[in-house]
Structure 1
Amino acid sequence: MPVGKIPLNDAISILEKGNLGRLGCIAEGEPYVIPVNYFYDGKYIYIHSMPGRKINALRSNPRACLQIDEIVDSYNWRSVIAYGSYEEISDEDTREQILESIFKRVPQLTPVETKMAKSPEKTIIFRLMVDQITGVGEHW
């Protein structure tokens, strides 16, 4: 099968199974894309971050997207983009629950997560309220 759209239910399944994607936003008038760990609950994509360029960009312009892919090889792949709006989570109990959910899905700590564990008050927890999901693939 040549490159083409994939069914919405397949795109949602890829989004639900994944835990690593690339967040796209506009930072200081320029496109900015960065890898992030996430989880999707059927309505929201939850992400954590330390303060910095990504958070400043999203606070300035809340529209963003998350791209996820499944790649077997150059001719067998699927790619999904979920579009949405940034919402920062400020309630401490909710923040803690979301961070625990992310760490359960991605148990290996990276330097960023280690830093977050030492300074949870500086950790930014946010979500994208998903309003559109698209997907394309080749040979699936």
Structure 2
Amino acid sequence: MLGELNSRQIEFVLHSLIIGRIGCHADGKTYVVPITYAYDGKYIYGHTTEGLKINMMRKNPMVCFQVDVMENMSNWRSVIAWGKYEELKTREERQEGVKILRDSVMPVMTGDTTIKNSMRDSHQKSNEAMVGVVYRIELKDKTGRYEKM
């Protein structure tokens, strides 16, 4: 059975995942790239280094965001949202964005290497995170689909 997710189900999917894909378009080129993210009910938060994705979103801040949960080919949920990219530039905004990301991602880190590297020095890691680009995407429109057998 194919169907549409309601708004509550869409919010659940967005809140429950930490890997999604951003679709951006600039200069006649479309680029889709996976990201680690946190969702606070209004914004998708991300952190990255300078590169193609950031350059494109600076030129055209209107982006698409997609996540999916795939149990198998007959049991899946997918959410697509459209929104506007915004770079967090002040120290306070950047710290808040990093905090939201860390609070969402840390509970699901399970690998020995990941945990050791992340927990080694929390203060140092926060400072390192401040080096890159911290951003958020305000989600304005959302839709979701599912298949369940």
CA distance in 2, matches of 1:74, 1:42: 28
Post-superposition CA distance 1:11-55 (Å, at most 9, x none):
111001111101110143121011101111111111111111000
The alignment partner of 1:32 has SS state of: strand
- TM-score between both structures, scaled by the size of structure 1: 0.86
Q: Tell me the equivalent position of 1:45.
A: 44
Q: Is contact 2:97–2:135 with CA below 8 Å preserved after alignment?
A: no
The answer on 1:100 being equivalent to 2:99 is yes
CA distance in 1, matches of 2:5, 2:88: 32
Aligned residues: 135
Q: What's the C-alpha RMSD, in Å, of the aligned pairs?
A: 2.2
Q: What are structure 2's unaligned runs of at least 5 residues?
A: 119-124
The alignment partner of 1:106 has SS state of: helix
Q: Is contact 1:20–1:68 with CA below 8 Å preserved after alignment?
A: yes
Q: Is contact 1:27–1:54 with CA below 8 Å preserved after alignment?
A: no
CA distance in 1, matches of 2:93, 2:61: 20
Q: Which runs of 4+ in 1 moved over 3 A?
A: 117-122
Post-superposition CA distance 1:33-85 (Å, at most 9, x none):
11101111111111111111000000000010110111110100000011100
Q: Tell me the equivalent position of 1:83.
A: 82
| Percent of aligned positions that are identical | 36
- Decide which structure has greater helix share: 2
- TM-score between both structures, scaled by the size of structure 2: 0.81
Q: What are structure 1's unaligned runs of at least 5 residues?
A: none
Over alpha carbons, which structure has the higher Rg?
Answer: 2
CA distance in 2, matches of 1:86, 1:5: 26
Q: Tell me the equivalent position of 2:63.
A: 64
The alignment partner of 2:135 has SS state of: strand
